[in-house]
């Protein structure tokens, strides 16, 4: 057999395949192809099952996150942009910080995305930085503005996590086309 001419230019896997084909014939090659095809189908099925499992997990996480984020959203109400809460005392601000802490350690913190966790921490830092032994004194405008902006950033991050501020949802966009 002219091995040199059959293997000319064939290297690596191609050369091995040619040699196997010549030595063992078409039956072995068909068996190898069926084996590879079966294994590929197993890998594909495993991937599909994993995607379905992750999709179910993601859906449950989204539902739970929405519930917990609504609780957090409501807790930020004492420091709105409009209308400004002119009655916000340092005592109420301290209570807000404690309410946020209780929400966080009461389980809500488990559901914060990494970005939301960072923004939550920053908001608590701004609130903590404004606190002091001031009791029922009203929070001054400059401190109020910083706190309001920090809580607004937190709420914006929550809306991003839940994708509630999109003009149109991805599924709707696909259905329209």
Return the domain boundaries, the chain: 62-176
Residue partners of 163: CB distance under 8 A and separation at least 6: 169
**Residue written as token pair 């030595």:** 23
Q: Give the separation between CA 57 and CA 124, rounded to whole angstroms.
A: 30
Q: Which of 120, 116, 129 is nearest to 157 (CA)?
A: 116
Tell me: the pLDDT tens digits for 40-66?
777 777 766 666 655 665 788 899 999
Q: Do 133 and 105 touch, CB atoms closer than 8 A?
A: no
What pLDDT shows up at residue 56? 64
Confidence of residue 165 (pLDDT cuts 50, 70, 90): confident
Confidence of residue 18 (pLDDT cuts 50, 70, 90): low
Tell me: the pLDDT tens digits for 111-160?
999 999 999 999 999 999 999 878 899 999 999 999 999 999 999 999 99
What pLDDT shows up at residue 27? 74
Q: Does residue 106 sit in helix, strand or coil?
A: coil
Q: Do 136 and 89 touch, CB atoms closer than 8 A?
A: yes
Residue predicted with more confidence, 119 or 174: 119
């Amino acid at each position: 057999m002219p091995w040199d001419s059959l293997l000319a230019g064939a290297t690596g896997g191609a050369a091995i395949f040619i040699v196997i084909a010549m030595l063992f014939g078409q039956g072995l090659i068909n068996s190898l192809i069926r084996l590879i095809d079966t294994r590929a189908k197993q890998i594909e099925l495993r991937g599909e099952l994993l995607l379905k499992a992750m999709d179910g997990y993601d859906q449950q996480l989204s539902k739970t996150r929405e519930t917990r984020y609504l609780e957090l959203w409501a807790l930020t109400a004492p420091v709105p942009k409009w209308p400004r809460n002119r009655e916000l005392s340092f005592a109420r601000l301290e209570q807000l910080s404690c309410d946020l802490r209780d929400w966080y350690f009461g389980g809500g913190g488990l559901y914060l995305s990494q970005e939301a966790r960072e923004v939550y921490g920053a908001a608590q830092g701004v609130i903590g930085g404004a606190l002091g032994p001031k009791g029922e004194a009203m929070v001054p405008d400059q401190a109020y503005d910083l706190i309001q902006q920090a809580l607004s950033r937190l709420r914006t991050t929550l809306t991003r996590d839940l994708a509630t501020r999109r003009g149109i949802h991805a599924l709707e966009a696909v259905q329209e086309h």
